[in-house]
Structures are given as C-alpha cells and as structure tokens.
Structure 1
C-alpha cells in the first residue's frame, strides 16, 4: 500500500462510519424546537465529518510522534541525536497531520458555533461571532486551544533537527488532547470531572494505539529488517498497554452514562456496542501480532503481516468514527432524574458532602479518577522495579521503598480522602490538602530516590533509539532540569507561587475549573519535590549546595511559609468569597472562622515536613562526612600519607631557618 493510499484510507473511513451510524440512530435529523432556528443541512452534515477528520488527524499526530520518539532507531547509533531517516519521514507525516488537525479544528469551531447558535455559515456577521465564541465561551476556548497547540506541533515538526525536540513536541501534542476530552461527549453536569478524566485516558490510549499503527504502516519502507522488527515489537508493547487503558476507561466511562441494562438498547448504547465490537476485533489482531505476526516478520515473511496490519488499521479507524458518532449521540437520561440541579451540584459536580466530623477525617472517600491511577501506577512501578533488582541479585534499601509507597499513600488520602472530598467546600480542608501535597508528599517521594532506581532497573538501549531510561537520563541532565533543581530557584518557586496563588484570582479559578485544579495539584507537588530534592535529594542531578547552606535554605523557605500563614490569620478578607459564599453551606464554621482555622493548620502542618527534612539533612550530612573521611583515608593509604609528610617537612624547614637581624626566623617557601 502506498503512502497516499494509506492516508486516503485513514481519513475517509472515519467520516463514513460516523455518518452511517448517525443516520441509523437518527442523529442526522434536525431537532426542531419551537421558537429556535436550526443551522441547516450543511452544518448538520459538515460537523460530524469535520470532527472525524480532526480526530483522525490528532490520532496520527500523537501516534507518529510517540513512535518516532520511543520506537524508531536511527540509521546508525552515532546519529542517535539527529532527526534523520525514518524519524524524518515520521515528522513529515506529523507536520501534515498536525496541519490537518489545525484547519479541521478551525472549521469545527465554525460548525460548532453554527449548531449552538442556530445560524447558517453564511449568516451576516458570522465570522466575528465565531471569534467571540472562541475567546469568550468555555467550550469554544477548548476547541481554539487544541488547534493552537496543533499549530505549534505542525511548525515544530518541520523545524525539528534534534531528538530532544521530538520529545518536546510529543508532550505538546499530548497536551492538545486534553481540550478534546473537555469538549467531548464526556462533559456533563454531575460527575463531570470523573467523566472528563476517563475521556482523557480513553483519547490518550486510542491516539497512541491508532496513530502509532498508522506510523508503522507509513514508515515500514524506510526501515530494514532488524530495525523494522524492533520498531514493531516496541509499538506492540505500547499498543498492549493502550488496549488496557482504552478498555478500563471505556468501561468506567460507560458506567457513568448508562443507567441500567435497558440503556443498552438506546441509540447511545447501540453506537457504544458497535465501537466495543470493533475494539474486540482489534484486540484479536493484537494477540495475533504478539504470538504469530512478529515471529513471521523476524523471518522476513512480511507480506501477510502487512495485510493484517492494514485490516487492523481499517477497523481501528472505523472505531474512531464510531467514537465521533458516540459524541454526537446524547446518552439516555436516568429515570426519575431531577430536572434542576442544586447550586452545590452545579458547582461541585457532586452533592454537597455531609458535615465534617472527626469520623469523616478517616471515612470520607471519593476516588479521584485522575490522581488515583497515577499514584497506583507510580507505586506499582516502583515495587516492580525493586523486585526486578532483587531477581538479578541487587539490593535496594527497604527504607526508600517505604518512603516512596508511603508518600503516594499520603497523596491518595489528600486527593481522594477527606481533604479531597472537603477541599472545595472548606478552606481549612483545602489548606490541609495543600500542605500535604506541597511539603509532606514530596519529601517522602524524594527520599525514595526514584531516578536512581529507574536508571538501575530500566533496560538500556544500544541501537540509538530512546526508551524510558534514555529520555529520563536526558531530562535529568537538561538545562531546564539543572536550573529548576538548584536550591535558590526551587525555594523561590515554592515561596513566590504560594503568595501568587492565594492572593490572586488563581485560587478561585482552581476551585471552579477542573483543569486549573489539576494544574494546581501538579504545580505544588512539583515545586515541593524540587525543593526537597535540592536539600535532601539522593538522585543524580546538579551539584547541591554545601550542607550549611542547605540548612539556611530550609529555614528561610519555611520562615516565609510561616509568615504567609500568620498574615492570612490576621486578614479579615475572605479568599474566593464568590465561590465559598455561593455554595451556601449549611453546616460548619463561618467563612472567616474557617479561613482562620485553615491558616492555623497551614502553619502547624509545616512543622512535621520540616522535621523530616531536618532529620534527613542531618543524616545526609553525617554520611557525607563519613564518605569524605573514608576518601581521605584511602588517599593516604595510596600515597603513604604524602600530604601529612609534606606538612611536617614544611614545619621542619621552618624551624631549621636561621633568625634574621630582628631575631625572627623568616618562613621558608613551602
């Protein structure tokens, strides 16, 4: 199959499947509401077609970048840092796909506004209204941001010359998937955050899976024997994990939208069934690849393998088209559903929690569908890596394992336990959550030395391609990591971001916006990790300050933190009043009293991370002195204490010098 044929196939199947399923379920029929106009047939047909093209372009962009960054080797190991050969071909594909993503996203913005406003595309003043929609309305901003990030990837793919740039644009493309999840069919009122998180995981998995397969098909002619086999094996491993991610997120997401078995017979359930059947078929193809196909490819029997890959690709793209139809099909409403949401339900996405009592500190629980999987994966990977070291006869300190697992357990409590449940309702619980994720959790994670463990446990590649170990090592020694890991910069980020966040509109934005709340959590974990790593870190990285200066960094940083808490205790102005006041909480303290309690807890909860850092620093200091003493002893053994001999000889010559006219001995030249 030629590259042009493959491109036409990929971009034509999804729109056809989307239109066909919508026609079967009645999704193409106009919804006529008395008193409201409709956008017309052009928008009704153009919107799903454009969305399918946008989605396929996004899948190809992300998948091709991931394959280029992690699977494809260079033509020679000496060219590992240069974008050439198969990688260059993939980046050319990325540039075209990202351009299609950009322009189809712009067109989708216009079609979406046409449908929402009930205006045809030729209506007077339509273009300025679309601009307002893209800048003033949240849904429009999602579409615009995704297209803007796609434009960065398109330009960057053409200009990329170094392998490190491929990693940067891969991360940018993955970030551009988040607005797609926000604007997808997962968005709703109740359980909105969970639906968006699951949708993002689903989109991520299907993007790497489908786009990666497209990349393998398009780049196979540029790879010879062993390089092609290695690329297919690495992609196959990625596809297996993506299948698991798509299956889990799909099942959980369907559980949020389908209420009872009877919902399966609805149009939404029928489209979901078609998409699920397609994914089962592709899973069977994946099993064939792992068991039979790669073995035939290794023997040079590639024709049958390529035929199966093309069939798999068609089914996967058809599943993506079914996803477009699914996003255009409203899920069935539960029987007896309330017509109007309460204020708390509209703002929080869930019911107002019960009054906070002592028992709720231990029993309140709402799994965070974003951070809980992250924590479980991080802890599971760490334990698996330790077991791998032990299987090959290496030892790993138990204390580091306990610190790492304990840190993530504390993080899970902060995000899914009582602080997570009450953090958006009570300022005091928000401060408990903040202090836990910004000071306590990072300290434990740093003491786990995850980078050291990864460098010892991950497999080293020798063909010039970059796996997890190579990307990690490159990031640790990159200039951004060196700057951010220095103690003065880390301390400044920790202190400045604290004041900037709470004394600006960012705090209320993090309460209102799911995306901003996730970024807040990530930011405070990251700044806390950088600070702890610069003080008591074990992992390789930039040269750390001498221990007395590290003590000074800790004292200054936590001194500013205490000053912030005291200033917050003294204020009479409620932070985020239009959020906490509108919630109309009927239990607990007043807003100002709760804020005073939160500031007090913020001050008090800074003590035990400070104590942990202090103890770890003292232990590190003592160990460093012992290492230095052992180094000097070994040096003395090697040169027979030459430094001491020279020192004594110097004093001997000093005593042997005759006195000058003043009666004093002139010191000899050492």
Structure 2
C-alpha cells in the first residue's frame, strides 16, 4: 500500500470529486436545461467540472507553496519537488480557468461555439468589459504567472511573495457566484474567501506530502507531517467557521436545510466532520508512533490518508455542485429589499438610529478579525505557558495588555462601531482613532516578537518556521526603514492626509477588500509609531528619551491640526456617500463631530504615551545608576580613583616651581 499511495491517493480524490459533482448536479438541478437560450449540455456540465479542476489546481498550487515555505528545507530535494508540484497545479488551474471562462460565456450569452471572428469578438468583449468575464481572465493570468514563477524562483524568501500572489488568484473567485449581489455581501465574500484559501492549504498540503512520500523517507516524513498537521488543524477551524457563516447567509432558516442546496451543504458538513476525525487520529496516534520508529503503523497511516483524500474529493465535488445550485435565499429576493438610499449604496439594510447604547448592543461580525484576534490570543498564551513550563518568567502585565488590545480590536471590527462606520463619518473616525492609537498602545507593550523569539523552538534543518520568519521579517532592511522613528512618525501623520484627501477613502467604502486594507493600514502605522516610542521588541535604532517626547508632541500637534481642519471644513468628504444615507440629519454636522473625535480622542493615548515614555526614562536612569554602583563595588571605585589621580597629576604639573 505505501508504494502505490502516490497514485491511489490522487486518483481517489479526483474520482470521488467527479462522482460527487455529477451526483450533486443531478440532485440539485445545477445542470438542468435552461428554458431560454440553452447553451447545451457541454456548457451546462462544463462550468462546474472545469471549476472543480480550478479548485483542485488552486489547492495543489497553494498547498505545495505553503508546505515549501513552512515545512520543507531548501537544502533538500524535497523543496524543489514541492515547487514542481505547485507549478504543475498552477498550470492545471490556468487551463481550467480559461475553460471555465469560455463555458461561462456560453452559459450566460447562449451563443453557440464556433471559430468565427464574430464569436472571438464577443468572447473578447465578455472577458474585457463584463465583470464576470474580467474575473475569470484575471484568475487565468495570475495562475499563469504563478506557473512561470514556480519554475523560475527558488529563493526561500522570494517564494513568500509568490505564495501571496497564488492566494490572490482566489480573490476573483471569492467575489463571484452566490457571494455577489446579495445582502450580506461583505460577510459572503469574507466567508467564501477564507473557505477557499484554507481549504486549498489543507487539501494541497496533503496531496503534496503524498507525492513527496518517496523523497521524504521514513525519518523525514514524521517531521514534515507534524508541521503540516498544525497547519491542517488551523485550516480545519477556519474552513468549519467560514463554511458555517457562508451557509447561514445562503440558507437562512433551518427549514431550508431540507432543500437541495441545504442537503448538499449537509453532505459537506458530514465530509468535514469525517476529515476532522481523520486529522485527530493522525495527530493523536499515528504521527507520534511513526516518529518513535514504529513502522507497523505506516500502512494504517497511508490507508487513512487515502480515505482522507476521498472525503476531500467528496467535499470538493459537493462544493462544485453547490456553486450551480439555487440558494434558498435568492440574490434577487435579497436585492429587492433595497428601498432606502443607504441600502442602494451599501447593499445592507439601514441599521437602527445610533443611540449611544446601540454602539454596545449592535454587532456586524467580520470573520477575518474574529479569527485573527482569536488565534492571536491563543498563540500568545500558549507561548507564555511554554516559557513558564521551562522556568522562564514573563510579566503578567504584558499578557493582560496584549489580550486587552486584541479584545478591543474585536469590538472595533465587529461591534457597534463597525455597524455604523459605513453610514456615519463620526463612527468611521472613531474606528480610525481607536485602531491607530488605542489598540497599538495596548499591543506594543505585549512584546509579541520577543515572546515568539523565546517561546518558539528554533529549527535546525534549514526550513523556516514561525520563529525564523518573524526574525527575518523584523531584521529585514524594509522593516528597519519603516521602524525608524522619523519614518514611523511621517507614516503616522502623512497617511491621515493622503487617505482622506485621495481616492483611497472612496475605495475603502465601495470595496470590501479596501475596507480590510484600511484596517490593516491603520493598525500597522499606529503600531510602528507607538513601537518607536515605548516598544520593548528589538528595533535597529531608538531615539533618546528627550527626543522621543519631542517627536510625540510634534506628531500630535499635526494630528490635532488635522482634526481642526476637518472640523472647520465647509465641504463634505464623500458627499455622494455620507451625504446620501437618508438619516434625516445634516452630514456636515456629523463630519464636524468626526473632526472633534480626531482631535479629542487622540489626546488620551497621547497622555498615556507621554507618561510611559517619562516612566521608562526615569527607570533607565535608575538602572544606569545601579549599574554604575555595581561596577564600582566590583572594581573598588577604580575609575573614580584613576580620575582623582589624573586631576592630582594635572595640579602637580601646574604648580609653580
């Protein structure tokens, strides 16, 4: 069995996936004949089957790249073989994406396929001017670029950027299908995007290990499996939560679970539960025994891998059929609910009037930041526990501040502020101020880089894990440049003016990806600025304490000037957005309130930063004084005696003869 698993595993994956796709299409009616302009069975079945191979190709591409970057050593042949798997998978994705775009064109337009110039012109217009065609063209081109890069790039650090590009190829897929055009668009895109990315990492990583089985060998295989198992566990959690969020949006009530779409979702849930059990068995029993040299368990392990791949194929086939199956909560029905200007602009129902209590009772969950904060708290506490188990100390206040900062981030990105920031400029500015000033003030003293460097085990086989990648990033030239106190202050202040007085502001309102970028940008610029003032983690250069206070005061003066500029402005920022929400109140008055928030809210973190810098300054003087006292005790005040002797010699030399 172990010798044939490289053929049997992928074969089981593809065979079960195809069978599940055909069965799901037959049950859900996803390939039923259209009443008007039916393109024929080739197009109707071609779209879901081609899309299935898009998903499988993306999984092989992303999973192999993540495995190479995270678990494999560039000093071994396994690294190059994994990149070959990624290149081949990206090539499959390229061809399948092009085929999906063609079949989609036939399905949408009903134009029969031929080789005439007229057909080519219509197809060219579809992929260059229609949003759906542009999405498939983008996916095809990005996958083709990754194919070339996987052959051309072998540098370990550069492969991180290739992996990011590979993940970016899934963005157009996340914005298609049932995610587009419905109420809850942002949540749908987020859920589907997370689902696609982490399912690809999970499935592609396992397929890559199966294909590299002969190269890894009996000693190397348990090491790589243990590293993959951690990634697979994280992927399982994300896939489960994102799948639930997506299904809840599209199914609605529990009664709709017995519709064809709902039953296909049940099939995916059953497959996911089975995969979770397989993963638990691997982590708890088989990998550990293989690491101890128990070869009798190898056969059982590979049988389990083949079964796991078969269930992954079942889930992939059901997903391909779901993409062509009508949802119980239809997009047309959701779109017909838009009656107010706010709903036309945002696609969401207008929330209740923002009484101050609603900022604590209303919620608009963002799954990305729920997961980021949840994992951030878990891994931080796990690192602290590891330090304490080996007898090292870690100040409790750092843990408290880190957890508090992430909980505040959860509230800002999921609570009442996130509900109203699309509709009120004042709520948006409140979110900005908290993200860029309050949250970093809590997170920076947590010293996450120092904790990671001390708690994560160093690798000695040439591969790079969490510790290695964090230290490489922190010590890079780019990180050293943006961590410079002057640069950090310029980014902190300059981004205010650039963001609000450029098209970036509009982009973050119209595009969910822009909204997520905005959160990341505010967090990073605020974190860099606070780190330059009170940070504990190592940086290439720190200003002396007096200059830190001057930098803080100067930066805050520009920050206050920005707030006053907003308050005194007679023109409305994004007038066709905030001025058209239909709240029944003056948007300019709300903008003045937002400027006041930018001016006043920033003062509280400023005072906290100034106090912290002053305390650190005093403690550094005290530490230096104690250090000199200890040195004097060890040397018997040799430096002072030498200095006095030097003064006496000078006096003796200057004395008149």
The two structures have a TM-score, normalised by structure 1, of 0.89
Query: Per the alignment, in what secondary structure is the counterpart of residue 573 of structure 1?
Result: coil
Deviates more, 1:12-21 or 1:252-261: 12-21
Q: Could you tell me how far apart the structure 1 residues matched to 2:510 and 2:523 are?
A: 20
For 1:288-322, what per-residue CA distance to the aligned partner results, in whole angstroms no more than 9, with x for missing partners?
32344335643224334223312321321232121
What is aligned with 1:211?
Answer: 204
Closer, same or farther in 2 for the Cα pair 1:170/1:631, shift >3 Å? farther
Equivalent residue, structure 1, for 2:184:
191
2:530 aligns with 532
Residue 473 (structure 2) aligns with: 475
**Residue in 1 that maps onto 2:590:** 594
What is the deviation of 1:152? 4.2
Cα deviation, residue 267, structure 1 = 1.9
Q: Kindly state the Cα deviation for residue 103 of structure 1 after the two structures are TM-superposed.
A: 3.4
Equivalent position of 2:17 in the other structure: 14
Secondary structure, counterpart of 1:341 in structure 2: coil
Give the distance between the partners of 2:443 and 2:563, measured in 1 at CA. 25
Q: Which residue of 2 aligns with 1:286?
A: 279
Whole-angstrom CA distance in 2 between matches of 1:561 and 1:282: 52
Q: Aligned partners of 1:509, 1:476: CA distance in 2, in Å?
A: 30
CA 362–285 in structure 1, closer or farther in 2 if over 3 Å, else same: closer
- CA distance change for structure 1 residues 288 and 440 in 2, over 3 Å: closer, same or farther? closer
After superposition, the C-alpha distances for 1:202-260 in whole angstroms (9 at most, x for unaligned) are 22331121111101101111112221111122222332332232223222322222233
CA distance in 2, matches of 1:347, 1:14: 40
Structure 2 CA distance for partners of 1:295 and 1:373, relative to 1, 3 Å = closer
Contact 1:15 1:48 in 2 (8 A): no
1:176 aligns with 2:169: yes
Q: What runs of 5+ residues in structure 2 fail to find an aligned partner? A: none
> Of the candidates 601, 606, 614, which is equivalent to residue 605 of structure 1?
601
CA pair 258-32 structure 1, distance change in 2 beyond 3 A = same
Counterpart residue number, 2:35: 32
Q: Distance in 2 between matches of 1:204 and 1:21?
A: 23
Q: Deviations over 1:322-344 (max 9, x none)?
A: 11111111211379967442243
Counterpart CA distance in 1 for 2:136 and 2:58 is 13
Structure 1 pair 360–26 and aligned structure 2 pair: CA distance change class (3 A):
closer
CA RMSD of the aligned region, Å? 2.8
Query: How far has the Cα of 1:347 moved from its partner?
Result: 3.2
The alpha-carbon distance between structure 1 residues 208 and 643, as it changes in their structure 2 partners (threshold 3 A), is same
Deviations 1:369-425 (A, max 9, x none): 322232233223323433443344333222222221222222222222222111010
1:409 matched to 2:407: yes
Could you tell which deviates more after superposition, 328-337 or 520-529? 328-337
Q: Is the counterpart of residue 160 in structure 1 residue 141 in structure 2?
A: no
Aligned-partner Cα distance in 1 for 2:499–2:113 = 42
Question: Contact conserved, 1:99 with 1:151, CA < 8 A, in 2?
Answer: yes
Query: Helix, strand or coil for the counterpart of 2:276?
Result: helix
Of the three residues 88, 101, 110, the one matched with 1:109 is: 101
Task: Give the superposition deviation at 1:159.
Answer: 2.9
What residue in structure 1 maps to residue 324 of structure 2? 328
Task: State the shift of 1:494 in Å.
Answer: 1.8
Determine the structure 1 residue equivalent to 2:67.
Answer: 67
1:299 is aligned to 294
Deviations 1:637-656 (A, max 9, x none): 44444443443333233222
Superposed, 1:451-490 pairs within 5 Å as 451-490=449-488
Quote the residue 2:445 is aligned against: 447
Equivalent of residue 389 in structure 1, options 382, 387, 390: 387
C-alpha spacing 1:578/1:93, structure 2 compared with 1 (3 Å): same
* Greater relative CO (CA pairs within 8 A, separation 6+): 2
Distance 1:119 1:624 in 2: 76
Q: Is contact 1:209-1:239 (8 Å) kept? A: yes
Give 1:631's aligned residue: 627
The aligned counterpart of 1:258 is 251
Q: What are the Cα deviations for residues 437-480 of structure 1, in whole angstroms up to 9, with x where unaligned?
A: 11111121112112222222323334433222222222221222
Question: 1:432–1:598: 8 Å Cα contact kept in structure 2?
Answer: yes
Deviates more, 1:245-254 or 1:508-517: 245-254
**SS of the residue 1:563 aligns to:** helix
Output the CA distance in 2 between the equivalents of 1:627 and 1:136.
67
Contact 1:83 1:163 in 2 (8 A): no
**Structure 1 residue 428: Cα displacement:** 1.0
Q: Is 1:314 the counterpart of 2:310 in the alignment?
A: yes
The aligned residue for residue 267 of structure 1 is 260
Match of 1:78 in 2: none
The residue that corresponds to 2:569 in the other structure is 571
Quick one: distance in 2 between partners of 1:386 and 1:485? 26
Alignment check: 8 A CA contact 2:77 2:215 kept: yes
Counterpart CA distance in 1 for 2:75 and 2:611 is 47
TM-score, scaled to structure 2: 0.91
Instruction: Report what 2:431 is aligned to.
Output: 433
Change in Cα spacing, 1:441 to 1:120, as seen in structure 2 (3 Å) is farther
Q: 2:612 aligns with which of 596, 611, 616?
A: 616
Deviation at 1:498, TM superposition (A): 1.4
In 2, are the aligned partners of 1:43 and 1:120 still within 8 Å (CA)? Answer: no
Structure 1: state its 5+ residue gaps: 75-81, 666-670
Cα pair 1:185 1:328 within 8 Å, conserved:
no
Structure 1 residue 657 corresponds to structure 2 residue 653: yes
Contact kept, 8 Å, 1:371 with 1:415, in 2: the verdict is: yes
Q: Distance in 1 between matches of 2:151 and 2:331?
A: 53
Preserved contact between residue 177 and residue 204 of structure 1 (Cα < 8 Å) = yes
1:341 aligns with 2:338: yes
Q: Tell me how far 1:133 sits from its aligned partner.
A: 4.6
Worse overlay, 202-211 or 183-192: 183-192
Aligned positions of 1:487-506 closer than 5 A = 487-506=485-504
1:201 aligns with 2:204: no
> Is the CA contact (8 Å cut-off) linking 2:488 and 2:525 kept in structure 1?
yes
**Aligned partners of 2:395, 2:431: CA distance in 1, in Å?**
29
Contact 2:91 2:143 in 1 (8 A): yes
Specify whether residues 11 and 166 from structure 1 end up closer, same or farther in structure 2 by C-alpha distance, changes over 3 A only.
farther
Mapped to 2, the partners of 1:493 and 1:147 lie a distance apart of 36
Check the 8 A contact 1:210/1:317 in 2, yes or no: no
Q: Is the 8 A contact 1:109 1:130 kept in 2?
A: no
2: CA distance between counterparts of 1:184 and 1:616?
A: 51
Q: Which moved more, 1:62-71 or 1:50-59?
A: 62-71
Deviation digits for residues 608-654 of structure 1 (CA, Å, limit 9, x no counterpart): 11112111211222222233333333444444444434433332332
Post-superposition offset of 1:658: 5.0
